[in-house]
Amino acid sequence: MTTVESRMEEYFAGFRDEMAEMRARFCDEDYIEVPRFGPDGIREQVAADVRRLLEEHAERRDLRVATTGGTPRRFESVGRDAIVAGSEVISPLFRAPAMLKFLAELTGEPAIVPVPYQPEELLINRMTRPGDSHGWHWDDYSYSLIWLFEAPGPEDGGAIEYVRNTVWDKANPQVEEYLRRGTIQRRSPAVGSVYLLRADTAMHRVAPLIRERARRTVMVLSYATEADLQREVGHETMLEVFLSNLDSSVGFGR
């Protein structure tokens, strides 16, 4: 067992007594926040690696995605391959058996595994300009764990918003219809926390930044269920982004 794996195992053991309550809350909301995530030392190393990877590899994205109804993607991004190559701790943490066990217990799933499509495993996104947003969308796989390293104030935008119990039809996403009929849930998690979202059935976005100097930096860790592995999953959104980046001479990153 590596140092990261053993430290994560010790860390997650501390949630044993409150797991039933956390699972019930996640079931009720399709969302849960875990404050000050990760063991001491590893938490600080991950944050330092995220900052360095952004400085070395961040590429600007500014496009609209047809498979989510033309919603915008405006932020800086670092893709999976740069993260894995550039950090000794992030990939082992992402795959740690204790992490997978914790997520399975939290969601009530028989098992949780890293997504079976490498480009969607790990991503770092940073919003730095007024109007930056990760517009309304769904994820290809069931669960997204988002680790927050910088966050704007409540008056500066950048809140996570989501609508539960929606279905992603890539040919006819019906974003406006879901917004009209559904209830928008809003959350503003604290810096240093992670939040877990049921990302394939909760249509979600990061609301646009409003003010200059507001910043939002996250790392996204994506996970799948046994049921995800049994169904055919297309990656049309990734293809849209790739082709758009070729057209605009912007590097590939989700």
Per-residue model confidence as pLDDT tens digits over 9-48: 999 999 999 999 999 999 999 999 999 999 999 999 999 9
For residue 248, pLDDT beyond 80:
no
Whole-angstrom Cα distance, residue 231 to residue 117?
13
Query: How high is the pLDDT of residue 236?
Result: 65
Share of the chain above pLDDT 90, in %: 89
Contacts 24+ apart (CB under 8 A), 173-176: 173/67, 173/68, 173/69, 174/69, 175/68, 175/69, 175/71, 175/136, 175/203, 176/69
C-alpha to C-alpha distances, 245 to 67, 117, 118, 208, nearest whole angstrom: 16, 20, 19, 21
The vertex-120 CA angle with 218 and 231, nearest 5°, equals 135
Query: How high is the pLDDT of residue 234?
Result: 73
Whole-angstrom Cα distance, residue 2 to residue 174?
46
For residue 239, pLDDT beyond 60:
no
Per-residue model confidence as pLDDT tens digits over 72-112: 999 999 999 999 999 999 999 999 999 999 999 999 999 99
DSSP state of 157: B
Whole-angstrom Cα distance, residue 168 to residue 182?
14
- Residue 168's pLDDT band, with cuts at 50, 70 and 90, is very high
Per-residue model confidence as pLDDT tens digits over 184-227: 999 999 999 999 999 999 999 999 999 998 999 999 999 999 99
